[in-house]
Amino acid sequence: EEELSKTYFPKVIVAFAKSWSPNPDNPPFYCDIPFGYEDDQLVTHPEILEKWYANMPVHMIDDNLDNLKKLKAIKLDWGRNSGDRFTIQCKMFSQRLENVGIKHFAEEYIGTHTSGIYTRDGRIPNQMLPFFDYYLNFN
């Protein structure tokens, strides 16, 4: 656990594992990680990788297609400078929605995952809140 706090990527792996392969019987993180070391050899666990694959949003579209079609609107955005893995996944998700005929809004903006979103001229007050105002109807 101490090693985990020293760098970013181990935290990401544990966060994914807690989301995609939780295991209440596997302390200290209570999840299964799809790879690890046995002696000095990197070992992968295909059964856990299958869980990860099944739980990635881009791979959940087909199983949830009927419910996705019921939504009035879907909006995605991502920062161009958020890192390759993030921008690639967002583009894949948008492309997959398009391929199955789900209308949606998708936009890449210049910035990182959080840059300029909370400011007065940021994405939350100028993009997200107007989107919700227009498409959400609780009547």
What pTM does this model have? Answer: 0.79
Q: Cβ(33)–Cβ(14) under 8 Å?
A: yes
Mean pLDDT (the chain) is: 93
Residue 83's contacts (CB-CB under 8 Å, 6 or more residues apart) are 113
Residue 17: other Cβ atoms inside 10 A: 21
Q: Which carries the bigger pLDDT value, residue 47 or residue 2? A: 47
Q: How many residues does the chain have?
A: 139
Q: Identify the CA nearest to 102 among candidates 76, 124, 84.
A: 76
CA distance 115 to 139: 34
Q: Which residue is associated with the tokens 């809140």?
A: 129
pLDDT of residue 96: 97
